[in-house]
Structure 1
Amino acid sequence: MDLRVLPLAVTMMVGPQIMSAIILVTTKQAVRASLAFLLGVATATVAGVAISRGVFALLGSGVSLGSPSDTGSAGTIIQLALVALLLAAAVKSYVKRETATPPKWLGTLMDADPGRALTIGFLVIMLMPSDIVIMLTVGANLEHNDAGVTAALPFIAATVVIAALPLLALLIFRKHADQAMPRVREWINTHSWVVNIAAYVIFIVLIV
C-alpha cells in the first residue's frame, strides 16, 4: 500500500466521528461505551476496506488500472476522481457554513450504553460519505499496487488509534480531561463546517 494513504486515517475520524468519541467519554459509562465504539469503528473500517478492495478487484479484472507510477493510468484517474468528490463536498460545506449544524443523533449519545455505542461506531464509519470515499481510495490504492487487505492494517490501526484519543486522554489526564472535553465538544459543535473543510483539505493534499 502506498504510504501516502496512511495519514488518511486522520480524515476518517474528523467531524461527527471524533465528536461521537468525545461525547462518549463524557457519559456515565465512558470507558465501556468508548471501548464498544472503538470496536464498531474497527469492524466498520476493516469491512469497508475489504469491500472497497473487492470492488476494485472486480473492476480491475475488466479494466487495467495500470502502474502506480503512471499518472495517466486508470487507477490514478479513479483516485483523482474521488478527490474531486471531496473537493465538491468542501465547497458545499463552505457555502452552507452559516446554517451548518451537527447531526441531531449526536445529542442522543449522552445516554448511550455500550450496545448503542458499538452501533454508532460502526455506522458512523460505514455511512459517512467522506469515510466511504476514503475507504474507496484505500481500496483503489490496494488494487493499484496489487496488495491485499492486510497491507491496509496500518491504516486501519491508525484509524482506531485516532478514534481512541479522547478515551486515552480521559484515562491519562482524568481530572483535566473531564474539564476539557465538554469545551472541546462545544467548540466542534459550533464550528462543524470548519472541521469538515479541514478534513477534506487534508485528504486532497495527501492524495494529490
Structure 2
Amino acid sequence: MNLQVLPLAITMMAGPQIMTAIVLVTTPKAVRSSLAFLAGVAISASVGVAIARGVFSLLGHGVSLGKSSDNSSVGHIVQYVLVALLLAAIVRNYVKRATIEPPKWLGSLMEAGPGRAFKTGLLLILLMPSDIVVMLTVGANLEQNHAGFGSAAVFIAATVLVAALPLLMLLVFRQRAERVMPGVREWMNSHSWLINIICCLIFILLILK
C-alpha cells in the first residue's frame, strides 16, 4: 500500500470521532468504555476497507481515473469537486458558527458504558461520510497497487492509534488528564464549528497533496 494514504488516518478520526474519544475518557468507566470504543473503531475500519477493496476489485479496469499527469482526467475532476464541496462547507460553518452545535448524541455519551461505546465506535466509522470517502480511497490504493487486505494493516493501526490518544493521555498523565480533559471537552463542544473547519482544511490538503 502507498504510504501516502497513512495521513488519512488523521482524517478518519477528525471531528465527532475524536470528540467521542475525549468524552469517553471523562466518563465513570473511562478505561473500559474507551477500550470498547477502540475495538469498535478497529472492526469498523477493517470491515470498511475490506468492502472498499472488494468494490474496486469487482470494478477492475472498468473505471479509469486517468493518468495523474492529466489535469482533465476523471480522477482530478473528482478531486476538484471534493475540494469545492469542502470549501463550501468551510464557508457554511463560519457563517453559521453562532448556531452550530455538536451532535446531541455526543453529550449523551457521558453516561455511556462499554456496550454503547463499542456500538458508537462501530457505527461512527461506517456511517460517517468523510470516513467512507477515506476508506474508499484506501481501497482504491490497494487495488491500484495490487495489494491484499493485509497491506492495509498499517493504516488501520494508525487510525486506532489516533483514536487511542485521549486514553493514552489519561493513562500516562492520570490526575493531570482528569483535570484537563473535561475542559477540553467543553471547549470542543463550544467550538465545534472551528473543529469542522479544521477537519475540512486537513482533508483539502490531503486531496491536493
Question: So what's the TM-score if we normalise by structure 1?
Answer: 0.89
Give the corresponding residue for 1:89. Answer: 89
- Larger displacement relative to structure 2 (136-145 or 45-54): 136-145
Which runs of no fewer than 5 residues in structure 1 stay unpaired? none
Give the corresponding residue for 1:171. Answer: 171
**Is the Cα–Cα contact under 8 Å of residues 21 and 163 in structure 1 kept in the other structure?**
yes
- Larger displacement relative to structure 2 (70-79 or 166-175): 70-79
Once the two structures are TM-superposed, the CA of residue 130 in structure 1 deviates from its matched residue by 1.6
Give the corresponding residue for 1:162. Answer: 162
- Larger displacement relative to structure 2 (78-87 or 183-192): 78-87
Give the corresponding residue for 1:150. Answer: 150
Once the two structures are TM-superposed, the CA of residue 69 in structure 1 deviates from its matched residue by 6.4
1:129 aligned partner, one-letter code: P
**Secondary structure, in 3 states, of the residue corresponding to 2:150?**
helix
Give the corresponding residue for 1:28. Answer: 28
Q: Distance in 2 between the 1:76 and 1:49 partners?
A: 22
Give the corresponding residue for 1:47. Answer: 47
Q: Residue 51 and residue 96 in structure 1: after superposition, are their counterparts in 2 closer, same or farther (change >3 A)?
A: farther
Q: Distance in 1 between the 2:79 and 2:141 partners?
A: 8
Once the two structures are TM-superposed, the CA of residue 71 in structure 1 deviates from its matched residue by 5.6
**Is the Cα–Cα contact under 8 Å of residues 100 and 193 in structure 1 kept in the other structure?**
yes
Count the aligned residue pairs: 208
**Secondary structure, in 3 states, of the residue corresponding to 1:99?**
coil
Q: Residue 131 and residue 89 in structure 1: after superposition, are their counterparts in 2 closer, same or farther (change >3 A)?
A: farther
**Secondary structure, in 3 states, of the residue corresponding to 1:146?**
coil
Alignment of 1:60-139 (within 5 A): 60-66=60-66, 73-75=73-75, 77-78=77-78, 81-139=81-139
RMSD across aligned positions (CA):
2.1
Give the corresponding residue for 1:18. Answer: 18
1:18 aligned partner, one-letter code: I
Once the two structures are TM-superposed, the CA of residue 85 in structure 1 deviates from its matched residue by 4.1
Which runs of no fewer than 5 residues in structure 2 stay unpaired? none
Q: Residue 187 and residue 42 in structure 1: after superposition, are their counterparts in 2 closer, same or farther (change >3 A)?
A: same
- Larger displacement relative to structure 2 (81-90 or 169-178): 81-90
2:119 aligned partner, one-letter code: T
Once the two structures are TM-superposed, the CA of residue 11 in structure 1 deviates from its matched residue by 1.5
Once the two structures are TM-superposed, the CA of residue 20 in structure 1 deviates from its matched residue by 0.7
Q: Deviations over 1:103-149 (max 9, x none)?
A: 00011111111110000011111111221222222222222333232
Q: Residue 157 and residue 80 in structure 1: after superposition, are their counterparts in 2 closer, same or farther (change >3 A)?
A: farther
- Larger displacement relative to structure 2 (125-134 or 184-193): 125-134
Give the corresponding residue for 2:181. Answer: 181
Alignment of 1:188-199 (within 5 A): 188-199=188-199
Q: Residue 144 and residue 200 in structure 1: after superposition, are their counterparts in 2 closer, same or farther (change >3 A)?
A: farther
Question: So what's the TM-score if we normalise by structure 2?
Answer: 0.89
1:158 aligned partner, one-letter code: A
**Secondary structure, in 3 states, of the residue corresponding to 2:98?**
helix
